[in-house]
Chain A
């Protein structure tokens, strides 16, 4: 997953240059309070706990629309428990756009990476209004977290 970023959307270069500038030099008085979930370790490759923890924080972007085992509530988007390796738009009683319902693929890392960069690039006409993550590391982090769901 650690490839240099090639493709950027508009504004990505500006945002990337400055958005998270200064991580290393800023003192952190806040202890990381969330490690990787202890359970669900049956998958073959052990998830990187730091990456998963980062993904969990980025999931704030997702939580208003998408419930998981941990994030409950009445949400307008599909539940994401078990989303990775799931067939697209397959849950019942769930609101999907017509554009997404016409798709036929499985949510693997590659598809999810394009989706998280900009949903409308993968599926024009999608009803997922998500601003997108220009940094590849951030997309990888969310995918690592999604795999634990």
Chain B
């Protein structure tokens, strides 16, 4: 009850101050005072701000771009309105579900039915049913059944010892904080398995333990509320399947797009969310904290939440500076890109060449998912996904040149598809200047070195963002981190 009233109160307050712009403090000269400054208007920062304001603290959210939501980003201007970032809400995503309920956002079952996938390996096409016995398949005996796109995740799943969601932070499992290459090699993976797995992520620079944390969390979600456990294999995101006889679908989306969630959170915060404010410095040398932005505006607060990725926090002058392993974390935590191209199939090219609609190749084009039509759609949608080094390579090109290259590559590799599909958009997260990646990624050894130390509050500065997760995955990990930062501050305020 109280919570809803507070949210409504926040909405009416914002309407009031919007009506009287003179009430706004002058910018640039005097510092604006507040209890907490949250740097970053993504899901983590907005969740921190909402929770703190519900306890009566004054908050200001500084968002560097002209849009809230960060990696929750619905491309509203693009036909079919694709999701560039997060979209999946699992049944155990308590915070996302609760926020949607409180903010009156409707959830709809995810309609993502990927049509069957053929593989092009070493220039030879193989239908999915023929893969295990194909001469092109150079995998070892117990690997042969695994589709090429799932080799890395499947083999890692077989070696994953984690049971509970927090096991990854326990020194007991730090022996798994080694590269995927080392883990898979020691686990007996064949050279071909290592080659195919390397298309999904860079095996040399990825901590196996980090991937195990995510896999353990996705399996937890798939089994949440189910008596029978389900084994999930997926290249991207949650692996659960929506089954028709279940009351609550395994994976849901927000009606109208994921961006509606951060937008509703920001609306509840009203004019406390400031867009276009790129933080330049956090000065905690005095009796409180001052955040200075590139445009000269200043904000004084008792506490600051850095709800930005470390790839961006690195660009902010923090005084006193970070030290020890925390400094190492801020400076060296890795970020990974994902690049996706979205489009429509104009003619079903698979009827011409007899292969399956979706495909995976070990060339420039990595994965093409062709989706079953949603009710009312007259054409199939497709999503091309590039991860790891294939993403880094595509991101070297300007978007228009990248699309031209991808189109000609598909035409070359799969001639039947030439001219039968149309791109609508391309988005590479590495190119987002304020994020510089779709996600963090621990390098081998980094979890043991600083995964615990890196989130310890630094003077008046607290940390949020998906990279500071403890138990969660996907957008829930962002919300989890914002909640933790809020509780930390509530204990001090």
Q: Give residues in A with beta carbon < 8 Å to B.
A: 10-11, 14-15, 18-23, 26-30, 33-34, 54, 57-58, 60-61, 63-65, 70-77, 95, 98, 118, 120, 124, 127, 129-132, 138
Is B396 among interface residues, defined by CB-CB distance under 8 A? Answer: no
Please name 15 pairs of A and B residues whose Cβ atoms are closer than 8 Å in the assembled complex, sorted by A. A11-B169, A14-B456, A20-B488, A22-B459, A22-B492, A26-B302, A30-B35, A30-B493, A58-B490, A72-B3, A75-B94, A75-B98, A76-B92, A95-B225, A127-B220
Q: Which residues of A contact B457 (CB under 8 A)?
A: 18-19, 21
- A118: min CB distance to chain B, Å: 7
- B170: min CB distance to chain A, Å: 5
Instruction: A80 to B111: give the CA distance in the assembly, Å.
Output: 34
Instruction: A65 to B97: give the CA distance in the assembly, Å.
Output: 9
Which residues in window 194-230 of B have CB below 8 A to A? 220, 224-225, 227
- Interface bits B106-147 vs A (CB < 8 Å: 1, else 0): 000000000000000000000000000000000000000000
Docked-complex contact A20 and B487, CB < 8 angstroms: no
Number of interface residues of B (CB under 8 A): 53
10 additional A-B residue pairs with CB within 8 Å, beyond A20-B491, A26-B302: A10-B170, A14-B452, A15-B452, A28-B302, A61-B483, A74-B97, A74-B101, A118-B166, A120-B164, A129-B165
Is B486 among interface residues, defined by CB-CB distance under 8 A? Answer: yes
Is B350 among interface residues, defined by CB-CB distance under 8 A? Answer: no
Q: Which residues of A contact B57 (CB under 8 A)?
A: 30
Q: Which residues of A contact B171 (CB under 8 A)?
A: 10
Q: Which residues of B contact A58 (CB under 8 A)?
A: 487, 490-491
- A115: min CB distance to chain B, Å: 14
Q: Which residues of A contact B456 (CB under 8 A)?
A: 14-15, 18-19
Do A23 and B94 form a contact, CB below 8 Å, given A57-B487, A73-B102?
A: no
Instruction: A54 to B492: give the CA distance in the assembly, Å.
Output: 10
Q: Which residues of A contact B102 (CB under 8 A)?
A: 73
Docked-complex contact A73 and B493, CB < 8 angstroms: no
- Interface bits B457-493 vs A (CB < 8 Å: 1, else 0): 1011000000000111000000110011011101111
Q: Which residues of B contact A76 (CB under 8 A)?
A: 91-92, 94, 97
Contact of B453 among A14, A29, A54 (CB under 8 A): A14
Q: Which residues of A contact B488 (CB under 8 A)?
A: 19-20
Instruction: A22 to B483: give the CA distance in the assembly, Å.
Output: 21
Q: Which residues of B contact A34 (CB under 8 A)?
A: 55
Q: Which 5 A-B pairs have the closest CB atoms?
A: A57-B490, A11-B452, A64-B94, A64-B95, A120-B164
- B446: min CB distance to chain A, Å: 15
- A149: min CB distance to chain B, Å: 14
Most buried by B among A30, A63, A120: A30
Docked-complex contact A26 and B492, CB < 8 angstroms: yes
Instruction: A41 to B361: give the CA distance in the assembly, Å.
Output: 68
Instruction: A129 to B91: give the CA distance in the assembly, Å.
Output: 12
Is B23 among interface residues, defined by CB-CB distance under 8 A? Answer: no
Q: Which residues of B contact A118 (CB under 8 A)?
A: 166
Q: Which residues of A contact B94 (CB under 8 A)?
A: 64-65, 75-77, 129
- Name the residue of chain B whose CB is nearest to the CB of A34: B55
Instruction: A58 to B480: give the CA distance in the assembly, Å.
Output: 14
Q: Which residues of A contact B227 (CB under 8 A)?
A: 98
Docked-complex contact B3 and A20, CB < 8 angstroms: no
Instruction: A131 to B481: give the CA distance in the assembly, Å.
Output: 11
Docked-complex contact A73 and B483, CB < 8 angstroms: no
- B224: min CB distance to chain A, Å: 6
Instruction: A60 to B57: give the CA distance in the assembly, Å.
Output: 14
